Amino acid sequence: MNTRNKLFLMMVLEIAIWGAWLPLIFGYLPSLGFSATEPPHAIAGLVPDFLKWLFSEQGMILNAFPVAAIIGMFFSNQFADRNFSAEKFLGFSHLVGGLAIFGCGFAHTFWPFFLCMFVHCLFYVPTMSITNSIAFANMKDAKKEFGIIRMGGTFGWILVAWPFVFILVDWAKVSAANPQGIIAWFDVVFKSGLSGPAAQVATGWTFKVSGMISLALAAFSLTLPHTPAKKKTEGATESLAWLEALKLLKHPFVLVLFLVTFADSFVHNCYFNWTGSFLEAAKETGGVGIAKNWIMPVMTIGQVAELLTMFILGATLKKLGWRVTMIIGILGHAARFAVYAFFPENSNLIIAVQILHGICYAFFFATVYIFVDEFFPKDARSSAQGLFNVMILGVGALVANSICPSLINVTFKNAAGLVDFKGLFLLPCYIAIGAAVALALFFHPPKDVTASGAPGSAPH
C-alpha cells in the first residue's frame, strides 16, 4: 500500500470511530434511564438549580466530546505534537480510547458509562488534529491530495452505518415470517427493526464496533510513515497560541463570523441530538416512523451529499463569494428543520431533505476553514483554525448537548407526554435564519481576500 492509500485508510478508520456511535447515542441514553434534567445523585447537592441542565446525566455524557475538543486545543497543539512522533501518539491514543469506548457497550449505569465516554473523548479528539498533521507531513502536493485523502473520513462515516441495518434487525421476526426467495427475504429484513429492550441491547454494539475500529487503527498506525515531533519555535507567545488567536477577534468581520459560527454549530448539533428520535418516533406521535435499523443509513445521505458538494465548492466560491456561499449553507439548516416541522408525515420528503446536511457542512464549515486559510497570514493560520475549531466542535456543541435533551424531553412535551416536534424544530430554524441575516448585514471581509487564490475581484 502506497503512502497516499495509507493516509486515505487512516482517515476512513478515524472518522468511522466517531460515526459508529454518534447518530444513535441521543436515543440510547434515555433508554438507559439517564436523566435529561437532573445531575447524578453523587453530585446533585453540589449543583445549583440554574446549572442542572448543564450537569444532567445526559448532558455530562454528551458534553464529554466538546469538552475534550476544548482541552484538545491546548493538548494536541501545545504539547502532543511537540513531544511525540505523530504516528506513535495516534497509536497509543486509539489503544486507550478504543478500550474506553468498547467499555461503553457494556456499561448500563451512569458513572461507568460517563467515565468510559470521557476517557475515550479525551484521547480521541486530539487524534483528529494529529491525523491531519500526519497527512500534511507526508503529501507531495497538499492542495491536490488533501481533499481526496480527507474524503476517506466521509466514506468511513457512511460505511460504518450500513452494517447496523442488519445488526439492529429482529431476526426472530424474520425467521417467523419465513420469507421465500431473496427479494422477499430482504423485504422482511428491512421491515423488521428491533424495538424496546432488544433494541437497547443491540444499540450497545455501536460502541463495541467503534472500539474495534479504534483498536484496528491503533495497530494500523504502526505502518504509517514516520512523522517526527515538531520542534518548538522560539518566542514567548508560542506557548500561548490560543491567546494570539483571541486577538484576531478585534477585526469586526472575524468577530461576526465567529459568533455566526457559534449559532451554526448549535443548530448543526441540534440535528444530531434530535433527528434520530424524530425518525424513529411513530407517525401517530408526530414522528416519521422509520425502523431503528434504518436510522443510521438515512442519516448518512447527508455525508453522500457532502462528497458531491465538496467537488463543486471551489467553483461555487468563485462564482458566489464567501458571504453568499456561507448564507446558503446556514439557510440549508433552516430549510431542513422547516421540512421537519411542517411535513413530518411525508417520510419520502424527510429522507430526501437529508441531502441538505452535506450542503450545510460544505457551504458553511468547510468554507470557514478555507476562508481562514486564505485570509490570515501563515503564522496566524494555525491559531485561527484552532479558534474556529473550538467553536465548531467545542462551545457550540457544548451548549447544544446541554440543553437539547431537556428541550425534547421536557420543554416541548405536551400534556399527553408527546413531543411537540413542530415547535421543537422551529427553534433552530429561526436561529439559522437569524444567523444568515446577521452574516448578510455585518460580514464584510476586506476586498483583497480571494477564494482559492483566484485572480480578479474578490468574492464577498
> What single DSSP character describes residue 224?
S
Q: What is the DSSP string of 141-176?
A: -HHHHHHHHHHHHHHHHHHHHTTHHHHTB-HHHHHH
Tell me the domains of the chain and their CATH numbers: 1-226 (1.20.1250.20), 242-460 (1.20.1250.20)
Grid cell digits, residue 404: 437539547
Query: What is the structure's pLDDT at 80?
Result: 66
> What single DSSP character describes residue 283?
G
Look at the alpha carbons of 437, 438, 442, 444 in this order and tell me if their dihedral is positive or negative: negative
**Residue 437: exposed, middle, or buried by beta-carbon count in 10 A (0-12, 13-18, 19+)?**
middle
Query: What is the structure's pLDDT at 324?
Result: 94
Query: What is the structure's pLDDT at 452?
Result: 39
Query: What is the structure's pLDDT at 9?
Result: 95
- The residue type of 45 is G
pLDDT tens track of the chain, all 460 residues? 788 899 999 999 999 999 999 988 988 999 999 998 889 988 988 888 777 877 899 989 999 999 988 887 666 556 666 677 889 989 999 999 999 999 999 999 999 999 999 999 999 988 887 887 788 788 777 656 766 787 888 889 889 988 887 888 888 888 998 888 888 888 888 788 888 888 888 999 999 999 999 999 999 999 999 888 766 554 444 455 556 667 778 889 889 999 999 999 999 999 999 999 999 999 999 999 988 888 888 988 888 888 888 778 888 888 998 999 999 999 999 999 999 999 999 999 999 999 998 889 889 988 888 887 777 766 566 667 777 878 888 899 999 998 999 899 889 998 888 999 999 999 999 999 999 999 999 998 877 544 333 323 233 3
Query: What is the structure's pLDDT at 331?
Result: 97
- The residue type of 82 is R
CB atoms within 10 A of CB 302: 24
- Residue of 122, 113, 124 lying closest to 57 (CA atoms): 113
- C-alpha 335/C-alpha 365 separation (Å) is 17
Q: Taking CA 111 as the corner, what is the angle to CA 266 and CA 295, rounded to the nearest 5 degrees?
A: 45
Query: What is the structure's pLDDT at 184?
Result: 87
Grid cell digits, residue 118: 470521557
Q: Count of residues for the chain? A: 460
Grid cell digits, residue 352: 430526501
Q: Is the CB of residue 65 less than 8 Å from the CB of residue 121?
A: yes
